[in-house]
Amino acid sequence: SIWFLFKHILHRPLNLDITLPKAKSRAPIYLSRSDIQRLIASCTDMRLKTLIIVCYGCGLRIGELLRIKVTDIDGKRKTILIEQGKGDKSRYVVVSESVLKQLRCYWRVYRPSGWMFYSRWLMDKPMSPSSFRKSLRKQSHSIGLQQ
């Protein structure tokens, strides 16, 4: 782009007195309750199933979901601490008994100690959003959801 040329090649500022058009943001596409139920029922991978259940059941953003630590989950109070969510604010979300049950099953199989949903390659790092999206997209396509 012209900006790159001026900044990195010519090493001088690009001073234009024009306002650039804002990129149009797409409206999010929401799945119906029945689509979510079909998606969850079709999951054979416990990790992906748990990710979907927690994300949907707690109303979390993907970044918030993947930054959950084992110590953030309080089974007695039925809450999860979401640290530095949107706007760098922390908050607690209430967790249903069915979501807690799924988290407990996941914990018994994977035994996470730091990040609840750690990277498959680096256990001391959280799973990347792109890895989750890729798995979710693949699972969605396998049951005919094209969203």
Order of strands across the sheet that contains 79-82: 73-74, 79-82, 91-94
All domains in the chain, ordered by first residue: 45-140 (1.10.443.10)
Cβ-in-10-Å burial (0-12, 13-18, 19+) of 72 comes to middle
The pLDDT value recorded for residue 89 is 84
For residue 128, which phi and psi values (nearest 5 degrees)? -85, 150
For residue 144, what is the DSSP state? Answer: T
Beta bridge partners, 74, equal 79
pLDDT per residue, tens digit, the chain (147 aa), is 777 887 888 887 777 666 777 888 888 788 899 999 999 999 999 999 999 999 999 999 999 999 999 999 999 999 999 987 667 788 999 999 999 999 999 999 999 999 999 998 888 899 999 999 999 999 999 999 876
pTM over 0.75: yes
